[in-house]
Amino acid sequence: MALLGIPAGQIAKRLHTKKTTVDNGLAVAQSTVATAVIAEHNLTLAQALVLIEFEDDLGIVKALTIVAVKEPAQFEHTAQRLRDERAAQQAHDALVADLTAAGVQIIDRPGWDEKTITDLSDLRDDAGERLTPETHATCPGRAAHVARSYSGLRAVHVCLDPKTYGHLRVSASGSTTATGPMSEEQKSDRRAVIVGNKAWKSAETVRREWLRAFAARKTAPKDAPALVAYVLAACTNDLTHAAQQGHALACAALGLDNAKPTGWGGYAGERAITDAIDAASPARAQLIGLVVAMRAIEARTGTHTWRNPTDDVTRYLRAIASWGYDLAAIEQSVIDHHDARTTTDQHDADTDDTHGDYEGDEYEGDDEQASLDAAE
């Protein structure tokens, strides 16, 4: 029908299906790579569409095809991780191109035991003024490397040899800086944190997209009241914080994206949800309440979660897994880590009544991991 010039909308009507299904089918049919893979393997239309995203890299297409055939539950997680990696590489390449065009030499990130190459933030000129990329532009030691921060990639400007080019290396307090090299164990731990954080961020994208689809249900799962009751009893701080933010994540999941918090109380988001509850059937209202509870926990998850699993997040992940969500390996590790720690804590409690306070230990761990995040 498409070859005869019939529009996708008309095709959808004649086939009694959605126009998006027709559009997707035509897109796959026009892809040589996707049609070749489908001819050999039993992929879904959604999986074939993902292959089109990567059809310029046959290595990735092959890897995704293997996952689709052998581990279909991990297909979306793998695809999202690859999207994130590609986006990061593109951002890296764009930043490098801008720096190169500006005449800045690009170097690899210096090791922790580097004693010569120094960040401009630790340098001053002979007049005592802190160096900036602009004031350092004419120095023969001008260079930069690309680093990752909370806000994304950034250029770290450095001098290749401050002593040779007459710069003073000082700390913010004015004293000479000194840093020691990391041990091999510290380097290994740091690499593990970086890999785990990337995996968590990719899984978060897939999980929140699944939650948006879940929120479109007309009824909640039969065992949903148990999770809602738990959140009401044990996660009041999370609910309060979510309310102060206008239940932004819950509004997004429920399709109330136009609701913007106004003022400290986020009243607009709260009102959007209560209006939706008033207009809903009792069963749908229960589902909305579940989404609000789920998103309150979801709102405070982050890269720290996989390193410091808590009872509420573990319970939350177990629940959505039982409702049809395919956990990524990093999410499953939260449950496994929590279960292992709970078993150990119980053993310690049975053998030693003087073991340390759990919440205090966890708080210290959060601080320690926060410093690792800052290092990343």
Six-digit token string for 303 = 């890269």
pLDDT for the residue 366:
37
CA 325 from centroid of its chain's CA atoms: 17
In the chain, which residue ranges form alpha helices assigned H by DSSP?
Answer: 8-15, 19-29, 32-40, 45-53, 58-70, 75-101, 184-214, 224-234, 236-244, 248-253, 267-278, 282-298, 311-322, 329-351, 358-375
Nearest partner of 260 among 239, 271, 246, judged by Cα: 246
DSSP assignment of 226-290: HHHHHHHHH-HHHHHHHHHTTTHHHHHHTT-TT----TTTTHHHHHHHHHHHHTS-HHHHHHHHH
pLDDT for the residue 172:
46
pLDDT for the residue 261:
47
Question: DSSP code of 130?
Answer: B
Average pLDDT of adjacent 10-residue blocks, the chain of 376 residues:
87 88 87 90 91 93 95 95 93 94 92 88 84 92 87 89 86 45 73 90 95 94 95 92 88 75 60 91 95 93 91 95 96 92 59 39 35 42
Place of tokens 């003024």: 129
Six-digit token string for 5 = 């010039």
pLDDT for the residue 180:
46
- Read off the pTM: 0.70
pLDDT for the residue 368:
36
Cβ-proximal residues to 170 (8 Å cutoff; 6+ apart), any chain: 122, 123, 124, 176, 177
**Between vectors from CA 190 to CA 363 and to CA 309, what angle results, nearest 5°?**
35
pLDDT for the residue 121:
87
Q: 296 and 238 in contact (C-beta within 8 Å)?
A: yes
pLDDT for the residue 321:
96
Q: Is 247 left (phi over 0), alpha (psi -120 to 50) or beta?
A: left
pLDDT for the residue 171:
56
pLDDT for the residue 191:
84
Place of tokens 């999941």: 253
